[in-house]
Amino acid sequence: MAAQMVSAEAPKPRNGDKLVVINDDGFSPFHSGRYRSAEDLRKQVLGYKETQVAVFEWCIVAGSRVNFPSSNHELIGEGLTEFPRRGDKLAVETLIRMRNEGVDTLKTVADACHEAGIACYASMRMNGDYPAKAWEGTMAPFFNSDFWAEHPEYHQKTVGGTDQTRFSYAYPEVREFKLSILREAVERDIDGINLDFQRHPTFFSFEAPMLKAFEEKYGEDGSKVAADDPRWNPVRATYMTKFVGQVRQILDEAGKKKGRHLGLSVRIDWQKYQFWGCDIESWLDQGWLDYLVVGQYGLGGYEFDIAPFVQLAKDSDCAVLFGEECITGGHDTTAAEDKLIAAGKMESPKRKALSLEELETRAAKWYAAGANGVHLFNVSDQEALKTLGTVNPK
């Protein structure tokens, strides 16, 4: 598949000099009870109207189920009668009730974004499925799709054939499953799509198509070659570039009907992106990306040199953003912990996060290195949304 040549169009900063993008995971506020209605969604998004947020990413996938009404994909947790945690039950009940009331969550968010003067990108977690035995077997049925359960042959495999849980993008059926979600998303009035590679790697292992491709390219048995051998990188990139090109084509076709450009962004790890099959250089050269988010997989507070990525994108119109994971410590409440909390036997786990001062100090460094802005994941300090676009480089 050869996607047509396009020209990148980076989003413009809003109420500031630098681009500020935030991501909402589309699940946690349902889990906590903060989102209970369409009005709750509207209120949240409209609250960003006077901030410097230029792009609001709304995650539409958890595991491989969706959080918007779909004719082809299951709603998160739909069909279950037992749930991992109390918040999971609340989230499912809310999403199902809203769907039954005729509420389209993605449309609601997109409309509110436009009312607030903000672009709306639908964000897809690229490989978020959970192991079958996670949390005593309760997590996979809740988040993972029927397609995942019915097709273990499309999961990544070890050399010995052990199931590795996550899908392999080497299979065209997997790529088509993911693309079908995005085709539905662009039917709404969104402004672009974000592909979140940090949720969760990896994307390839030792599946039959991978072994065949390696042998054809190098004349060697890939099952005897370590996964971190750099020769695997172009093999992985062949499949992933095919997928990203198809996403770009979906956006171009939808944009043509809507009479405007629809954007594409990716979030990657600065060290591991090639291992994941992300051929950023090629994607930039072909004009596919409108903004590139570069971060580090794991908890926040990390530092690295963003300048090499700025250099990669210098001949394109793609914005380069430092990807801040704002959570620096703690973990999500597990099913076992939730039972203890409900019984009054423990307190909820505490999370540590980057402060406003830390975010501003860090942003000054990224801007001095050439970054066009920042991308905030799990942001908790809302004041940061009013200042980070005007921080002076240092």
Cβ atoms of 292 and 321 within 8 Å: the answer is: yes
Cβ atoms of 134 and 207 within 8 Å: the answer is: no
Question: Is residue 221, in this structure, part of any structural domain at all?
Answer: no
Nearest CA among 290, 104, 285 for reference residue 191: 290
What pLDDT shows up at residue 110? 98
Nearest CA among 193, 41, 15, 201 for reference residue 112: 41
Q: Structural domain of residue 249, as residue ranges?
A: 19-144+171-202+230-390
Question: Is residue 207, in this structure, part of any structural domain at all?
Answer: no
Cβ atoms of 67 and 76 within 8 Å: the answer is: yes
What pLDDT shows up at residue 17? 97
Half-sphere exposure of 381 (CA within 13 A, CB side): 18
Tokens of 241: 């570039």
Rounded distance between C-alpha atoms, residue 198 and residue 147, angstroms: 22
Cβ atoms of 193 and 264 within 8 Å: the answer is: yes
Nearest CA among 347, 296, 348 for reference residue 323: 296
What pLDDT shows up at residue 1? 42
Question: Is residue 89, in this structure, part of any structural domain at all?
Answer: yes
Question: Is residue 163, in this structure, part of any structural domain at all?
Answer: no
Q: Strands 291-295 and 263-269: what pairing?
A: parallel
For the chain, list residues with pLDDT below 50: 1-3
**Residue type at 240 in one-letter notation:** M
Question: Is residue 277, in this structure, part of any structural domain at all?
Answer: yes
Sign (positive or negative) of CA dihedral 130, 134, 135, 141: positive
- Indicate which CATH number applies to the domain containing 254: 3.20.20.60
What pLDDT shows up at residue 313? 97
- What's the number of domains the chain is made of? 1
What pLDDT shows up at residue 176? 98
What pLDDT shows up at residue 7? 85
What pLDDT shows up at residue 6? 72
Sign (positive or negative) of CA dihedral 245, 269, 334, 104: negative
Rounded distance between C-alpha atoms, residue 299 and residue 73, angstroms: 30
What pLDDT shows up at residue 2? 43
Question: Is residue 376, in this structure, part of any structural domain at all?
Answer: yes
Place of tokens 């539409």: 60
Nearest CA among 95, 72, 76, 96 for reference residue 84: 76
Place of tokens 């060290």: 271
| Helices then strands, each counted (H, E), the chain | 14, 14
Cβ atoms of 248 and 264 within 8 Å: the answer is: yes
Cβ atoms of 3 and 247 within 8 Å: the answer is: no
Place of tokens 């490989």: 127
What pLDDT shows up at residue 4? 52
**Residue range 264-303, pLDDT digits in tens:** 999 999 999 999 999 999 999 999 999 999 999 999 999 9
Question: Is residue 11, in this structure, part of any structural domain at all?
Answer: no
Cβ atoms within 10 Å of 343's Cβ, excluding its own: 8
Q: Strands 65-66 and 163-167: what pairing?
A: unpaired
Nearest CA among 317, 371, 194 for reference residue 266: 194
**Residue range 205-241, pLDDT digits in tens:** 999 999 999 999 999 999 999 999 999 999 999 999 9
- Indicate the length of the chain as a whole number: 394
Cβ atoms of 197 and 267 within 8 Å: the answer is: yes
Question: Is residue 14, in this structure, part of any structural domain at all?
Answer: no
**Residue range 44-74, pLDDT digits in tens:** 999 999 999 999 999 999 999 999 999 999 9
Phi, psi of 276 (to 5 degrees): -85, -5
What pLDDT shows up at residue 5? 58
Peptide bond into 162 cis (omega under 30): no
